[in-house]
Structure 1
């Protein structure tokens, strides 16, 4: 018994998309790219507050006091600080390596804080004042753009314009012009990493500086950010006369 053939789809079935053009509607596939070099919008610093002592409760009290001092200092800069977060806290006993029984030699306490600033003038002053505190380490800064930065939108816009221009030049080389846009695919529009490779800590102090009452503010030069965008575009063009 003969079976119906599946080679020919029914008239009402959707037709598969043709991945290439036809003589009546030749297709052009291009890629548009954009690369912007822009100033950063925010800077992040990492702050590590530590305390050490033989008594666990005393170490915790000392760490709490130092942590409060750091938070109060950062908060004193008001709107210049856009975000302030505590990332990790630990109290770790250090045991003696000799003797029959294990004994606690000392306790180490640590609190890690992240601050995000948009005012780079305040950033230099704040980092200097933080580095002047006892047992306080400052890392950074890490420069970045905001996720909704206009730079990302501008890069995507330029990538699309380049794709259109490139396709138009191909068509003009054949003595014809573009007819319609068939597809526009975003293959990646990415800014700089939120946390570029750290340039190393700016300063680490085990004791407060005694040479001056107030250290001069650090002069920090913002690191330019690279923004990329890429799009794939397909167009049809009017049949050229070859």
Structure 2
């Protein structure tokens, strides 16, 4: 009897508690005098850098970095079409990866109360070790789903022997657009929260998913 070819797709996903919170904060100032704007931006950034360095020493932060100050100028227009005097701008961005979420909440609360400081985003993620382990487990789960599905199809046809002959990431066995698998989705952001009162950040769960395509012979 000729083997029956069965091609199936297997999907699996898992929700994992976030382990790290990455905060992106910017110092943005503007004014008529370049030197004053730059000096004020550098002063505020230096204070934030000192706080991050102290938090890193205490073990609340795994790593952080700060960009050099960016400076530019423009001449805005008013609502009557008149060009206004030159305005100078200065910006510094800081990125910090917290493993202590209470410390993250406290630092964001303090930082957002400062003039010229904006919280651009907070994203939640996993450590590399957890990410790799979860991706492997989810990929194995997707393969098992494909096996179970192919076995069910074969059983419906009265076939008992099922053997895998091909397995690949989704899109590689079909003519559909290829997609990555496993795929990690990071959710959670707090944008432009300057001036916000004290608050507690609630970390999102991280969804890790995988999809595979598999081809089996059954008889």
Equivalent residues of 1:139, 1:203 under 8 A apart: no
Match of 2:164 in 1: 181
1:129 to 95, 101, 110: 110
Measure how far apart 1:186 and its partner are. Answer: 1.5
What's the CA shift string for 1:24-74, capped at 9, x where partnerless? 332221111112222223222221113444432333222222111111112
Q: Which residue of 2 aligns with 1:60?
A: 38
Tell me, in whole angstroms, the C-alpha distance in 2 between the residues paired with 1:88 and 1:164. Answer: 53
User: Is the aligned partner of 1:159 residue 2:177?
Assistant: no
Residue 72 of structure 2 corresponds to residue 92 of structure 1: yes
Q: Which residue of 1 aligns with 2:193?
A: 202
Match of 1:81 in 2: 61
Matched with 2:27 is 49
**CA displacement at 1:203 relative to structure 2:** 2.7
Give the match's secondary structure for 1:156: helix
Relative to structure 1, the CA distance from residue 174 to residue 49 in structure 2 (aligned partners, 3 Å threshold; closer, same or farther) is same
Cα separation, 1, equivalents of 2:118 and 2:195? 5
Tell me if structure 1 keeps the 8 A contact 2:21–2:123: yes
Please report how far the alpha carbon of residue 127 of structure 1 lies from its aligned counterpart in structure 2 after TM superposition: 0.6
Q: Which residue of 1 aligns with 2:177?
A: none
- 8 A contact 2:183–2:209 mirrored in 1: yes
SS of 2:69's equivalent in the other structure is: strand
More displaced 10-residue stretch of structure 1: 50-59 or 60-69 = 50-59
What is the alpha-carbon root mean square deviation over aligned residues? 2.8
- Indicate the residue corresponding to 1:27 in structure 2: 5
- The answer for the alignment partner of 1:119 in structure 2 is 100
CA–CA distance in 2 between the matches of 1:35 and 1:88? 40
Q: What corresponds to 1:36 in structure 2?
A: 14
Deviation per CA, 1:167-204, whole angstroms, max 9, x where unpaired? 122222333323422001122210104xx574432334
Consecutive unaligned residues in structure 1, runs of 5 or more: 1-22, 206-214
Residues of 1 paired with 2:211 and 2:5: CA distance? 20
1:232 aligned to 2:213?
Answer: yes
Residue 229 of structure 1 deviates from its aligned partner by 0.8
Instruction: Structure 2: give runs of 5+ residues left out of the alignment.
Output: 171-180
How many Å apart are 1:103 and its aligned residue? 9.1
Distance 1:192 1:97 in 2: 42
Shift of 1:117: 1.7
TM-score relative to the length of structure 1: 0.71
Choose 1 or 2 for highest CA Rg.
1
Q: Is the 8 Å Cα contact of residues 88 and 113 (structure 1) preserved in structure 2?
A: no
| Structure with greater proportional helix content | 2
SS of 1:167's equivalent? helix
